[in-house]
């Protein structure tokens, strides 16, 4: 896949990747597909809720083990706003941190990197975020992968979420 578009980098804690992620979410026009490992950032969750309020179709996949309890995570906020959330249970860790924004249009964006959607990632950890703009082939490759993961994920309606030792839903 030849390189196209532009990229922007941010490193935590110095560059405030959370602000960059929020700007990307705020610019979404039609769709926002998310994969998250840990999700405790109220700021990112509010940006997703606001995007949904603007008519953006927002859907979230999250690691089941990291997010199955309500304590501290933002999944309940997303669910209360009507954002579909599904937990990935088929892996030891669903460790993706990805946002796919408007893959069908000229404003397509992929956000990826090590950055978890957490306070620690923003303030304590050495993390990175890479924002790739205008490379719609890449955005659609990420979207195909997101859809493969979604087919195997379990929809969540409330927390806590019971997960057996074999990672099956109970």
Of 102, 135, 149, 166, the active-site residue reads: 102
User: From CA 103, how far away is CA 138, in angstroms rounded?
Assistant: 9
Of 97, 135, 137, 158, the active-site residue reads: 97
17-27 and 42-53 helices cross at what angle (nearest 10)?
Answer: 10
User: From CA 138, how far away is CA 109, in angstroms rounded?
Assistant: 9
User: From CA 93, how far away is CA 134, in angstroms rounded?
Assistant: 30
The secondary element (H helix, E strand) that includes residue 155 is: strand 154-156
Query: Catalytic: 71?
Result: no
Of 95, 137, 158, 166, the active-site residue reads: 95
Query: Catalytic: 26?
Result: no
Query: Catalytic: 50?
Result: no
Residues with catalytic annotation? 95, 97, 102
């Amino acid at each position: 896949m030849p390189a196209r578009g532009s990229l922007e980098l941010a490193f935590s804690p110095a560059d405030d990747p959370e602000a960059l992620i929020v700007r990307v979410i705020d610019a979404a026009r039609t769709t926002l597909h998310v994969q998250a490992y840990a999700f405790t950032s109220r700021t990112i969750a509010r940006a997703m809720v606001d995007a949904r309020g603007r008519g953006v179709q927002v859907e979230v996949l999250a690691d089941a083990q990291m997010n199955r309890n309500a304590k501290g995570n933002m999944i309940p906020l997303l669910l209360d706003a009507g954002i579909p959330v599904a937990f990935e249970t088929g892996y030891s860790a669903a460790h993706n941190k990805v946002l796919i924004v408007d893959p069908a249009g000229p404003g397509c964006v992929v956000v990826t990197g090590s950055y978890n959607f957490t306070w620690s990632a923003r303030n304590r950890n050495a993390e990175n975020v890479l924002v790739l703009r205008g490379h719609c082939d890449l955005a659609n490759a990420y979207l195909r992968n997101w859809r493969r993961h979604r087919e195997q994920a379990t929809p969540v309606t409330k927390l806590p979420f019971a997960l057996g030792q074999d990672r099956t839903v109970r």
